[in-house]
């Protein structure tokens, strides 16, 4: 029996991916808990998250290979820089826009990856891909249409930029399959921390905030990424994409339960359009893969 059809392996993979998505769904919750500004929050989240991933990687490799922790190939280096930009844009977006708007726009990630893959890697694009892309653009239009606050529009723009950068990293993984994504994750986190350091306010960070920021970095970066890597080895990528989508409804749910942040009607409409289009596309890809 192959690994792909082993029920125990498949079940464990789904559970691990679901737990990773649960961890990632808290990304918009922590900025509402801490009192630090966007630059300070990004600095500590990136620093502590990077240290968490680096520590796990150091424990997993042999002692005489510790120097390899900082030995990056060219593709790993540019993906680290892109990853740092994606992290900064994504977390910063939560300071300017409602969590629902940010995650609904981010949910278009699979569609944007398909488009960029077709443009950069010359991969085939299906008719359903084009239809779903047009639908996603319409959903984004619904989210930003009628927004009167400039900071909300800035948050939506930051979320879209983060999604594009994450899509580029995914294409990099396809183009350079030997790249070590664990290295990319912690190096990208440290690059983001260095970029935020000149603007951070260290003197105003309380012990209470530091505890939450450490948990932010450890849970959202270290635990989430580690669980995803363990899970994605056990199931097909298409199924992993489907399971990861539980992050989309959970993220606005947390801030509604704990902070009463409701979802605007137009955001709910636009987000529903985007999520349904992505689901249709992923399910279509799954049928093609099965055939």
**pLDDT tens, residue by residue, 135-166:** 988 988 888 886 767 888 999 999 999 999 98
Residue among 209, 219, 168 nearest 19 (CA): 219
Supply 243's token pair: 């399971």
Task: Please report the pLDDT score of residue 2 as a whole number.
Answer: 46
Measured in residues, the chain has a length of 291
State pTM to two decimals: 0.85
Residue-range domain boundaries for the chain: 7-290
Helices (H), the chain: 7-24, 30-33, 38-60, 74-96, 99-106, 109-120, 127-144, 150-175, 181-196, 207-215, 224-232, 237-244, 247-259, 265-290
Summarize pLDDT for 87-118 with one digit per residue, the tens. Answer: 999 999 999 999 999 999 998 888 888 888 88
Summarize pLDDT for 220-272 with one digit per residue, the tens. Answer: 887 887 788 778 778 776 677 778 888 899 999 999 999 999 888 888 899 89
């Amino acid at each position: 029996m192959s690994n792909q059809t082993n029920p125990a392996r498949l079940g464990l993979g789904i559970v691990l991916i679901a737990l990773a998505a649960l961890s990632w769904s808290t990304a918009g919750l922590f900025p509402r808990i801490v009192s630090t500004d966007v630059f300070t929050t990004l600095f500590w989240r990136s620093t502590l998250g990077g240290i968490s991933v680096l520590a796990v990687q150091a424990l997993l490799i042999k002692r005489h290979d510790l120097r390899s922790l900082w030995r990056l190939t060219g593709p790993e280096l540019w993906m680290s820089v892109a990853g740092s930009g994606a992290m900064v844009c994504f977390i910063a977006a939560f300071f300017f826009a409602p969590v629902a708007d940010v995650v609904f726009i981010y949910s278009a990630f699979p569609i944007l990856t398909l488009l960029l893959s077709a443009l950069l890697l010359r991969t085939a694009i299906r008719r359903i891909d084009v239809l779903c892309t047009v639908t996603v653009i319409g959903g984004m239009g619904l989210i930003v249409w009628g927004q009167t606050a400039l900071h909300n529009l800035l948050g939506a723009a930051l979320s879209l930029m983060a999604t594009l950068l994450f899509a580029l990293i995914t294409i990099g993984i396809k183009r350079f399959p030997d790249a070590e994504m664990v290295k990319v994750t912690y190096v990208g986190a440290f690059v983001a921390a260095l970029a935020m350091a000149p603007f951070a306010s260290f003197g105003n960070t309380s012990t209470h905030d530091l505890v939450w920021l450490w948990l932010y970095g450890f849970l959202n970066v270290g635990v989430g990424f580690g669980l995803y890597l363990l899970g994605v080895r056990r199931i097909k990528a298409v199924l992993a994409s489907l399971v990861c989508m539980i992050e989309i409804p959970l993220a606005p749910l947390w801030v509604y339960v704990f902070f009463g942040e409701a979802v605007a009607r137009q955001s709910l409409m636009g987000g529903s359009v985007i999520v349904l289009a992505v689901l249709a596309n992923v399910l279509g890809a799954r049928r093609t893969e099965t055939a």
